[in-house]
Amino acid sequence: MDPLIYYVLHVVAAFALTGVTFAACAAPLPEKRRGVMILGGIATLVMVIAGFGLAAKLHYGFPGWLIAKILCWLVLSALGGMAFRKPESARTLSIIALVVIAVAVYCVYYKP
């Protein structure tokens, strides 16, 4: 399969996961929890499969920047659920999400 397909899937899933995380932080209402968590789970699954598929196609191995991106993915995946568990800390969680996204983007473009 063409690496471009993996790239597009990875980026679209990253946007979806980011949107779901910020939606959970903006309105952590119990009646919205199930739908948001389902969308977040699907987005995180597509993101990780496409990311590892892209890394395999481009023969990256496991450099440090890729491990940092995996950690950013884990944190971003967990933040949506945390917003529903502690709605009073939603603002702090959204700031953490913003920092995690910035670190992930830095890692993909500069590959430190």
Kindly tell me if the per-residue pLDDT of 1 is higher than 90. no
The residues spanned by each domain of the chain are: 3-110
Tokens 């952590």 — which residue?
Answer: 28
Cα 68 to Cα 75, 103, 106: the distances in Å are 11, 8, 10
**Cα separation, 7 vs 17, whole angstroms:** 15
What pLDDT score does 65 carry?
94
Residue holding tokens 């944190």? Answer: 75
Structure confidence by residue, pLDDT tens digits, 51-80: 999 999 999 989 999 999 999 999 999 998
Entry field: residues in the chain = 112
* pTM recorded for the entire structure: 0.90
Among 111, 110, 99, CA closest to 18: 99
pLDDT digits (tens, 9 = 90+) for 7-32: 999 999 999 999 999 999 998 888 98
User: Would you state the structure tokens that stand for residue 71, as one six-digit string?
Assistant: 């950690």
The whole-number pLDDT of residue 112 equals 85
